[in-house]
Structure 1
Amino acid sequence: MTISPQSIYDSISIVESTISHWDPHTSISPSFLEASDHLHSHLLRLSATASTNHADAAQLIIIHTLLQSSMELLEESFKHHLFSISAIDLCSDKIATARSIAQTMLSAGYGKECVSSYQSIRQSRLTSQIVQLRFNQSANQPKAIRKLKWEILDRQIKSWTDIAHVVVRSLCSDEQQLCDEIFATSPESVRDSIFSSIACDTALRFLSFPETVAVHLKPSPEKLFHLLDMYAVLSNLLPDIESIFGSEPESFVRSKATLSLGKLSQAIRVVISKFELAIQKDPLKSSGVPGGAIHPLTRYVMNYLVYLSDFKLYLDEILVELPKNYSSSFFKLSDRLKNGSVVSVTIERILFILLCKIDAKAEAYSDAALSYLFLANNLQYIVRKVQSCRLKEILNDEWMNEHGTKAHQFMEGHVRSGWADMAAMLRTENETNDVDRLREFEIAFEKAMKERKNWVVADAAMRDEVRLMVETMLVPEYSRLYRTHMEFGTVRFSPEDVKKRIMRFYAD
């Protein structure tokens, strides 16, 4: 393209005027960018003739110096625009101006300066945005993780899980889009390289946090859900990571995310094994719970499993297969379990261990009725917990029906062992002993009211059922004897009194 002398003169005037009056807070005019392009084109032409033409050589020096000053101004303006871009707006004037500046600098041979400024500013901004999200990247080191108190690390983990989707889907994605917009005229490989230099290091350090925690965190059951939270978040973000960091320069970011998932899986499997082992090691002969109520171990394990069931989707990925020794002398894999999922087998095995512990703890009670009550309360609690959450989807109807029936059998055993003797006192064929029988029953009944006042049936429906069973065993026969002897003043309790007192048994 031939540029007229007048055009060169005009371009020099525009560039000189803009440089002398430039305010960094004002936008670069299109005329300045066009003038800079003209100067660069003229510079290339002069370079070809300057060796034979002294006039061209002199002008070459002037144009080169002026163009260099122009590029320095553009670089400063470019930086100013980049600092002010906080979110992607593809229609914004700031991005459009920054793109025009980049194109001018690249075409003028100042691509290195342009890219260097872009990389420095956007990388710094990306890092500061993560800091503003209150995640401490500097703590993401093995030594730092091992030295942190759990309370501090707990906050770091929660912070990571809270902001991970923002970092990947917003910050990194926005940076990728911004890079594509600013360097729209550059080859895709160049854009990928620029974006990689900005985001990959930050993304690598951020995505390595779960791996660092998984490898260096001391495994214990209470830390399982922190690991699962990170796994769930990272697993959900994996498609986004593969999309954003899809080109070859960023392949190691995808690899890091996959590695972190793998390390989290390993740590989670270890913690679940430790949780199972902790249940097994709970003292078998520990004292029973007063009143036959629900044992703390039952509550702990079931609350744990309820929360664990929320991660069923991810546990299907994590618990890829059962350990070879999972079927043992005390836990046999039935045909039903062999055809079930790894998660269902794992949950059922943990429940089996818990039920064995409950059976053993029931033996601590010297009173058979209280032992049955303890078994009924705990098994009914387990069944109700399973029915109320996603455990119901993991354990099939056969399991729930089997154990629900067993809970009622325990309760029936409690009623038989606890009230059969008193019911027998009321059944007599010799009317001459009726009064003695009534007095004996009243004494036994009063004793039961004192000794059993703290006995518990935790489930409301089962509590009503038990009271009705006891009432059915005692009240009809007592009413018959009461009608026979009430006129002699030998009976202290009316049938209604007995019924009311039965309703006071089994505290909520």
Structure 2
Amino acid sequence: MTPPPSPSPARMTPPPSPLHHTFSESLMEENIEVADTIITKWEIHVTSLFSDRDEARQYLGSIKGLQKAMQYLALHHSNSEKLVRAQTLMQTAMKKLEKEFYQILKSNRAYLDPESVSAHSTSRPSASRSSFSDFEEEDFENESRDENDSIPEVERVSLAAMADLRAIAEAMITAGYAKECTKVYKIIRKSIVDEALYHLGVERGLSLQQIQKMEWEVLEVKIKTWLSAVKMAVKTLFYGERILCDQVFSISAPIRESCFTEISKEGALALFGFPENVAKGKKTPEKMFRVLDLYEAVSDLWPEIESIFSFESTSAVRSTAVNSLIRLGEAVRTMLADFETAIQKDSSKMTVPGGGVHPLTRYVMNYISFLADYSGILSDIFADWPFAIPSDLPESYFGSPDNEENISSPISVRLAWLVLVMLCKLDGKAAVYKDVALSYLFLANNLQYVIGKVRQSNLNFLLGDEWVIRQEQKVKQYAANYEKIAWSKVLGSLPENPTAEISMDEVKDHFRKFNSAFEEAYMKQSSWVVPDPKLRDYIKISLARRIVPIYKEFYEMYGGLQARREHWVESLVRYTPDDLGNYWSDLFYGSRSSGSVSSSSSRGGRSR
């Protein structure tokens, strides 16, 4: 007899436990019933669900239970009417949450402004941890209350609003309603960012052509506005918006990126595109310092820009900022080269009355001293552009190239080179003066002005004390050359040995020659100037030391009291030694219109 066939493995598997199946279904049905009660209750309410945190917790908890029921039914009873009912409830709940999300964003706009968010986000990272799951914790409210006791009211409201938004976003995203949630968020927050940028003065759609056609005065105003706006835009507006976005959509990195990019990218591109367009415009020396300001602003903010716009979808913002730095750096290098060329090509034959400070000296030194304030930025801009010092460069300006204590930084060398180029031009301008003594006085005045500007600015730090000392020695040499040429005839009119016995005719001749030479020199130099008080005093003291002692000895020997009985003394001895100092005290102001010398007798003083 043939044995019966063995049962198949499928037939041997016991059927699911009716008890287990019933318990799961009952639990899911209970979830649906609870959700129905809570969701239906709030469908007719006009007040905010999140005005009561217990109610909000229950509502979000019911949604989570409803999700579990839907997942169970979709797996085991995909055609069940209960699944349809659960889906309808979920749609109702999502519409409610979407309205709540919108309402919280709108009503808490003042508390969710980027400034408020950025101010407390880093100082209290744990204070904004609330999420969808946090609302299920029994003791969350008590913990929050204790934690928030010491937090200011504005910050407390801001933190609570962020926690509510985060909870809603997590619930909607988990339920598959991310699109509805993010659409509301993007519309509201983008309008806030755009409005903030508008109030900061950030202009949209300002093309390169428009910028190139602007008068410099108009463009400079726009640059100043941009400079005052960019720090606030980056450190407060975009930073706060990134923090808020990260907090609200912490559940999903792609959604965080998508929202932040759509909200901020357009405004950020407009913000960082402006300096690049400025850099592409016409490059003139007058624009140098505003371009450096732009470069410094973007460079200083680069760490924040790189961090805030770290997403791949915001790489265009980072690229725009980097391109702005590149273009601005190129503009600075071009303008500095043009500035040097302009100095070298200066062909003005103008002479400054009285040998004073030349306009070229004032302009160049003011320009270079301002450049010294940007030495750090310039070092960055010229980091990859080494400056080769010409091999025939005068050592008197730079010192020995082997001496490390002399000018060493690339920017210091560049600025010292510009000073040297200008001084070389001044040598040529000095030659225009017909009087050689005045040429030397001109050189002394201008180099003294250079030294003054260096000492009063950051150039003193960049060029160093040794450089200044060398230039001061040159000033003294110029002054000595001036004295030798301008007053040699006066000095030569006196005897080599003023106390030696000579004939009366020789005495008379010396006094006549001295009077003539002194009056000629004084009248000629009465319109000459030495603007620097220190240099002016130095020259006067030097003159007095060279001439007065010799004249005094000669005067006391032949023109003093012993000689008063001689009738020629009255007419020939016109000046006492003190008179010479009095006359010199009036020199180098360039204000003597008459240029005359008043005679005085040995008995009288000097007429003023």
Asked if Structure 1 and Structure 2 have the same fold, meaning a TM-score greater than 0.5 normalized by the shorter chain, the answer is: yes
CA distance in 2, matches of 1:250, 1:59: 42
Correspondent of 2:525 among 452, 456, 459: 452
Match of 1:432 in 2: 505
Match of 2:369 in 1: 306
SS at match of 2:368: helix
CA-to-aligned-CA distance 1:425-457 (integer Å, 9 cap, x gap): 222655423234324433443344443223222
Match of 2:95 in 1: 69
Q: Which has the higher helix share?
A: 1
Shift of 1:11: 3.9
Shift of 1:386: 2.2
For the Cα contact (< 8 Å) 1:219–1:267, is it kept in 2? yes
Correspondent of 1:162 among 228, 233, 242: 228
CA distance in 2, matches of 1:50, 1:74: 32
Shift of 1:358: 0.4
Correspondent of 1:485 among 547, 550, 559: 559
Correspondent of 2:576 among 479, 494, 501: 494
For the Cα contact (< 8 Å) 1:11–1:36, is it kept in 2? no
Shift of 1:367: 1.0
CA distance in 1, matches of 2:194, 2:215: 25
CA distance in 2, matches of 1:324, 1:296: 28
Is 1:342 equivalent to 2:417 in the alignment?
Answer: no
For the Cα contact (< 8 Å) 1:379–1:403, is it kept in 2? yes
Is 1:126 equivalent to 2:193 in the alignment?
Answer: yes
One-letter identity of the residue aligned with 1:182: V
One-letter identity of the residue aligned with 2:46: W
More displaced stretch, 302-311 vs 389-398: 389-398
Cα separation, partners in 2 of 1:11 and 1:321, compared to 1, 3 Å: closer
SS at match of 2:97: helix
CA-to-aligned-CA distance 1:218-253 (integer Å, 9 cap, x gap): 001111111111111211111222222234333333
Matches within 5 A, 1:176-255: 176-184=242-250, 186-215=251-280, 217-255=281-319
More displaced stretch, 480-489 vs 27-36: 27-36
CA distance in 2, matches of 1:213, 1:108: 49
Cα separation, partners in 2 of 1:65 and 1:187, compared to 1, 3 Å: closer
Correspondent of 1:22 among 23, 46, 54: 46
One-letter identity of the residue aligned with 1:392: N
Matches within 5 A, 1:309-458: 309-321=372-384, 327=390, 336=401, 340-427=408-495, 430-458=503-531
Correspondent of 1:263 among 310, 314, 327: 327
Cα separation, partners in 2 of 1:214 and 1:24, compared to 1, 3 Å: farther
Shift of 1:395: 2.5
For the Cα contact (< 8 Å) 2:202–2:270, is it kept in 1? no
One-letter identity of the residue aligned with 2:99: L
Shift of 1:138: 3.2
Correspondent of 1:151 among 197, 217, 222: 217
Shift of 1:344: 2.9
CA distance in 2, matches of 1:331, 1:44: 87
For the Cα contact (< 8 Å) 2:437–2:482, is it kept in 1? yes
Higher Rg: 2
One-letter identity of the residue aligned with 1:27: S
CA-to-aligned-CA distance 1:328-370 (integer Å, 9 cap, x gap): 8788999729984432332232122111110000011111111
Cα separation, partners in 2 of 1:331 and 1:30, compared to 1, 3 Å: farther
One-letter identity of the residue aligned with 1:114: C
Cα separation, partners in 2 of 1:57 and 1:473, compared to 1, 3 Å: closer
Correspondent of 2:549 among 476, 495, 498: 476
Percent identity over paired residues: 32
For the Cα contact (< 8 Å) 2:34–2:62, is it kept in 1? no
RMSD after superposition: 3.0
CA-to-aligned-CA distance 1:254-275 (integer Å, 9 cap, x gap): 2322221111111111000110
Match of 2:499 in 1: none
Q: What TM-score comes out, normalization by structure 1 length? A: 0.89
Shift of 1:161: 2.0
One-letter identity of the residue aligned with 1:80: K
SS at match of 2:589: coil
For the Cα contact (< 8 Å) 2:49–2:55, is it kept in 1? no
Q: What TM-score comes out, normalization by structure 2 length? A: 0.75
CA distance in 1, matches of 2:311, 2:448: 55
Cα separation, partners in 2 of 1:53 and 1:21, compared to 1, 3 Å: closer
Cα separation, partners in 2 of 1:443 and 1:3, compared to 1, 3 Å: farther
For the Cα contact (< 8 Å) 2:451–2:468, is it kept in 1? yes
Shift of 1:175: 1.4
More displaced stretch, 440-449 vs 263-272: 440-449
Is 1:288 equivalent to 2:351 in the alignment?
Answer: yes
For the Cα contact (< 8 Å) 1:19–1:73, is it kept in 2? no
Shift of 1:308: 0.6
One-letter identity of the residue aligned with 2:179: K
Shift of 1:375: 0.5
Number of residues paired by the alignment? 503
CA distance in 2, matches of 1:25, 1:224: 58
CA-to-aligned-CA distance 1:306-344 (integer Å, 9 cap, x gap): 111111112222123557987387889997299844323
Shift of 1:371: 0.7
For the Cα contact (< 8 Å) 2:355–2:528, is it kept in 1? yes
Cα separation, partners in 2 of 1:489 and 1:57, compared to 1, 3 Å: closer
